[in-house]
């Protein structure tokens, strides 16, 4: 499902993801499956645009070759806090390549207006929309609170106390 649909189905987790994503200047860690079956973890800056979570980056990188072969991914918000006092979140699912020049143009204009990165007029080799099938968040609130969600279900909260 697209980001907007996910945010309606899992409002708590999506809010934690958005908050943590912004707090670390958009940095996340992308998990993909290497051809040999081992996982690959890559830093990246996914972006929200027109109701979608976009996974894009430099063409020809190993992470995109992985996604060409196996579209499954996981995306985890970055944290340097070992106590997770500000929480963290992750989403997972598959990616779908979107080759719509008009969308690419609007995205490039938005990116330039937002952060000054000028990709206007370029063709995007990899412009991947996240199709989310599951998510989880962790927060500290009078103990550990884990919230999980799977497509077709509702958010579930588990509270653990020491």
The domain ranges of the chain are: 3-160
For residue 36, give the H/E element and its range: none
Whether residue 16 contacts residue 157, with contact meaning beta carbons closer than 8 Å, is answered with no
- The hierarchical CATH code for the domain 3-160 is 2.30.110.10
Give tens-digit pLDDT for 65-122. Answer: 999 999 999 999 988 777 778 889 999 999 999 989 999 999 999 999 998 889 898 8
Give tens-digit pLDDT for 32-69. Answer: 999 999 999 999 999 999 999 999 887 789 999 999 99
The rounded distance, in Å, linking the Cα atoms of 143 and 52 is 33
N-to-C CA span, the chain: 36
State the pTM of this model: 0.91
């Amino acid at each position: 499902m697209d980001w907007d649909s996910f945010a309606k189905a899992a409002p708590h987790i999506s809010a934690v993801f958005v908050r943590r994503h912004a707090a670390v200047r958009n940095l996340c860690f992308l998990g993909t499956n290497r051809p040999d079956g081992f996982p690959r973890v890559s830093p990246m800056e996914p972006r929200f645009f027109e109701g979608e979570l976009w996974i894009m980056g430099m063409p020809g990188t190993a992470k995109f070759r992985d996604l060409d072969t196996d579209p499954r991914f996981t995306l985890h918000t970055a944290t340097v806090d070992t106590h997770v006092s500000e929480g963290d979140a992750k989403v997972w699912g598959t990616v779908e390549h979107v080759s719509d020049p008009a969308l690419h143009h609007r995205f490039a204009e938005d990116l330039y207006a937002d952060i000054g990165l000028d990709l206007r007029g370029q063709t995007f080799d990899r412009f991947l929309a996240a199709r989310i099938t599951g998510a989880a968040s962790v927060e500290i609130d009078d103990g550990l609170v884990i919230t999980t969600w799977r497509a077709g279900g509702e958010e579930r909260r588990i509270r653990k106390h020491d």
